[in-house]
Structure 1
Amino acid sequence: MAQLEQRDSGERPVPRDEVHGLLSSHRRRYALHAIKQADGPTELSNLAEQVAAWENGKAVREVTSTERHRVYTSMQQTHLPALERAGVITHDNGTITLTEQATDLDVYLDVVPGNSIPWAEYYLGLSAVAISLVAAVWVGVFPAWIPQLVWAAIISLLFMGSAAYHVYQNRRMRLGETDKPPELME
């Protein structure tokens, strides 16, 4: 079974198949999101309340006791034990804490290969390069005989080429699109 890179602390990496199982439930994704937002230990009662609010499209204060109880029970009996078995959280007396293993899930939520940077960061960097190029043209760093329209065309081609590769990469990473599963193509 393919596994994510081993952590220095000696913790077992979360197997990819298990990651997909963990993230297949919206309730677990909501729970992970809420725990990460808390930026520290979270109480199960607060977690259940927040997840119930997201599931029902309500503010936390509008969640009924029935809605909260339904989420609380399924979290306690199903979802938190699954996350704890995977080593993503610790759960002790109603207090939930993320482990270092939780960062293994981030790459799957951003839908990029594990050996790549997220596309949002790539485009941010490309934008910085484009702005730097425009600033250099503006202050006259480049020879005047090169028309400014050429620089605009170069920037446009950089973005178009990047976007085309992004579309290609996303299609290639979809299940069932190629002969091999995406994780074997890395």
Structure 2
Amino acid sequence: MSEEPSVLEEGDIHDILRNDRRRAVIEFLLEHNERATIRELSEHIAALESGEDPPPRNIRQSVYVSLHQTHLPKLEGLGVVSYDTDSKDVELRERAGHVEAYMDQTHETSDRFPLVYVAIGILGALLTIGSFVAGSVAELWIWVLPLFVIIAALGGYQLWGR
């Protein structure tokens, strides 16, 4: 019998994160002491998907079946969770940390860069205006100021326009 590799392949991680239900399973387990029953998971995911609490029975049942037949076996096969089909208990395993690192990185990257764009744009615009007022920049401000305003606007759009 071969031993599990210690690190998940990047393609496997992307495959996990590409599916909303698999991602929701990992997020729920991380927030709830790394273990839950399939019923708790299906209730939570069905509520997310339907926007209703409690979720409709048919949606809850659909989520339950897809978790039981598809998503939990896949996550277990990749060593991310252990799933006991008899007790219906699901628990995170060590490899979940590899997926979590990508989840954190995705959130940080998507939230951090628009703030940086806004800050650079505002700082650049203020410096340009300050140089113009002080008389140290000839006609450069005509080109530079709009550039910084555009950078700030794009960052603001990314940050608040979602």
Fold match by TM threshold 0.5: yes
Cα 1:63–1:49 change in 2 (3 A) is: same
1:106 aligns with 2:103: yes
- Structure of higher CA gyration radius: 2
Scaled by the length of structure 1, what TM-score is found?
0.54
Pairing partner for 2:92 from 89, 94, 97: 97
Shift of 1:90: 4.4
What residue number does 2:159 align with?
A: none
In 2: Cα distance, 1:39 partner to 1:142 partner? 57
| Distance (Å, rounded) in 1 between the aligned partners of 2:133 and 2:76 | 58
Report the identity percentage. 19
**2:40 paired with 1:43:** no
Which residues of 2 match residues 152-163 of structure 1 at below 5 A?
Answer: 152-156=145-149, 158=151
| Count of residues paired in the alignment | 143
Deviation at 1:48, TM superposition (A): 0.7
Higher relative contact order (CA 8 A, sep 6+): 2
1:19 aligns with 13
CA RMSD, aligned part only? 4.0
Closer/same/farther in 2, CA of residues 139 and 24 from structure 1, 3 Å limit: closer
| CA distance in 2 between partners of 1:43 and 1:161 (Å) | 42
C-alpha displacement of 1:13: 1.9
Does 1:60 pair with 2:53?
yes
Asked if the contact 2:120/2:151 (under 8 Å) is kept, the reply is no
Partner in structure 1 of residue 160 of structure 2? none
Partner letter of residue 41 of structure 1?
E
Q: Secondary structure at the match of 1:60?
A: coil
The alpha-carbon distance between structure 1 residues 120 and 78, as it changes in their structure 2 partners (threshold 3 A), is same
Which segments of 5 or more consecutive residues in structure 2 lack a partner in the other structure?
Answer: 156-162
**TM-score scaled by length of structure 2:** 0.60
Query: Structure 2 vs 1, CA of residues 105 and 85 (structure 1 numbering), >3 Å: closer, same or farther?
Result: farther
